[in-house]
Chain A
Amino acid sequence: MKKIAPISLLLIVALLAITSYLALAVAPTEQTMGDVQRIFYYHVPSGWVAFLCFFINFVASGVYLWKRSAGSDAVAAASAEVGVVFCTVLLITGPLWARPVWGIWWTWDARLTTTLVLWLIYVSYLVLRRFSAGGQTQALAAAFAIFGFADVPIVYMSIRWFRTQHPSPVMGGGQNSGLDPAMAHVFLANLAAFTVMGIVFLVLRYQLQMQEHALESAHAQAALKGVA
């Protein structure tokens, strides 16, 4: 613990500093939107890590229902929480980009609405885990997570299925999509850095979950033996 804290703090600060520098100083200015478009380099990687975490949560929840192992439950809990944190940044940076470009903070189009619903689903998941009593909490949460994940592909496909205020996909969106190579380099570097940041958060949060589980077990054993 004494070594984990400074190392993880240093790593996260370094990743945030590098990604900010690349986005705000290195990337070229976009012609139509100007410098406000630089929000893109934090907005999209945050969304990517949120999706990745929710996918990990989906897999871990399935494994928990199959194996009933404490490890898979800890992975599920950790990934949901980290996913919510990244999704929160996604939902905050989006309106801050929309206001100067669209003239509005928010609109109830398919992409924005399904993303907000996704955030609410995983916040509900965390609330369920936190406040549900009884021995079936983990199983209930796992089942909830498996159904909740259904919103992820809907969010992803929403800008392809519906006409939205949100722009069409920038990468992999057809003939007229794509990024300037200088922008693409910064974007891919930030995507990689955010993925590392997400993994660091996941590992730390998983360790915490396992430590809390071990402490609860030790308390329960001690109580059974009439010590604590």
Chain B
Amino acid sequence: MNPTGLLSGMHLTPYSAAAYAIAWVIYLGYLGRILLRMKKVAAEREELERTLTRNPVTPSLTRSAS
């Protein structure tokens, strides 16, 4: 798709283009940060559960919340 064609109907000035572009970057960047942290926490939790499963001392310690 031609990006110029996509933007042809938009009434943009350099300042408004910058404002919208920065807002998109901040919101999508923040969403990406949250999702990456969720993935990391899930991986850590799986690792901990594997450790606990291997250890017979604490068989009851599995999912503690959510």
A46-B23, A96-B18, A218-B48 given as contacts; is B42 within 8 A of A226 (CB)? no
CB distance from A123 to the nearest CB of B (A): 14
A-B contact count (CB 8 A): 139
Contacting pair B51 A218 (CB below 8 A) = no
Contacting pair A85 B26 (CB below 8 A) = yes
- Asked whether A195 is an interface residue with its Cβ less than 8 Å from the other chain, the reply is no
- Across the interface, name the chain A residue whose C-beta is closest to B47: A228
- Asked whether B13 is an interface residue with its Cβ less than 8 Å from the other chain, the reply is yes
CA distance in complex: A25, B6 (Å): 11
| CB neighbours of B51 from chain A (8 A) | 222, 227-228
Mark contacts of A8-35 with chain B using CB atoms, 8 A cut-off: 1 yes-contact digit, 0 otherwise: 1100110010001101110001000011
Contacting pair B41 A211 (CB below 8 A) = yes
Contacting pair B66 A214 (CB below 8 A) = yes
Contacting pair A207 B13 (CB below 8 A) = no
CA distance in complex: A34, B16 (Å): 11
CA distance in complex: A13, B24 (Å): 9
CB distance from B39 to the nearest CB of A (A): 6
CB distance from B22 to the nearest CB of A (A): 5
- The tally of residues in A whose CB lies under 8 Å from a CB in B reads 52
Interface size class of B (residues with CB under 8 A): 35 or more
> Which of A25, A46, A217 has the most CB atoms of chain B within a 10 A radius of its CB?
A25
List chain A positions with a Cβ less than 8 A from chain B. Answer: 1, 4-5, 8-9, 12-13, 16, 20-21, 23-25, 29, 34-36, 38-39, 42-43, 46, 85, 88-89, 92-93, 96-97, 99-100, 197, 201, 204-205, 207-208, 210-215, 217-219, 221-222, 225-228
List chain B positions with a Cβ less than 8 A from chain A. Answer: 9-13, 15-16, 18-20, 22-24, 26-28, 30-31, 34-35, 37-39, 41-42, 44-45, 48, 51-52, 55, 57-58, 61, 64-66
- Contacts A212-B41, A225-B57 known; 17 new A-B pairs at CB < 8 A: A12-B27, A24-B16, A29-B11, A39-B19, A42-B19, A42-B20, A85-B27, A96-B15, A96-B22, A99-B15, A205-B34, A208-B37, A208-B41, A211-B38, A211-B42, A215-B41, A227-B61
The 30 sampled A-B contact pairs (Cβ below 8 Å) are A1-B42, A4-B35, A8-B31, A9-B35, A12-B27, A13-B28, A24-B10, A24-B11, A25-B10, A25-B11, A29-B11, A35-B16, A36-B16, A42-B23, A43-B19, A85-B27, A92-B19, A92-B23, A100-B13, A197-B27, A204-B34, A208-B37, A211-B41, A217-B65, A219-B48, A221-B64, A227-B51, A227-B52, A227-B61, A228-B52
Closest 8 CB pairs of A and B: A214-B65, A24-B10, A35-B11, A96-B19, A93-B19, A39-B19, A225-B58, A211-B41
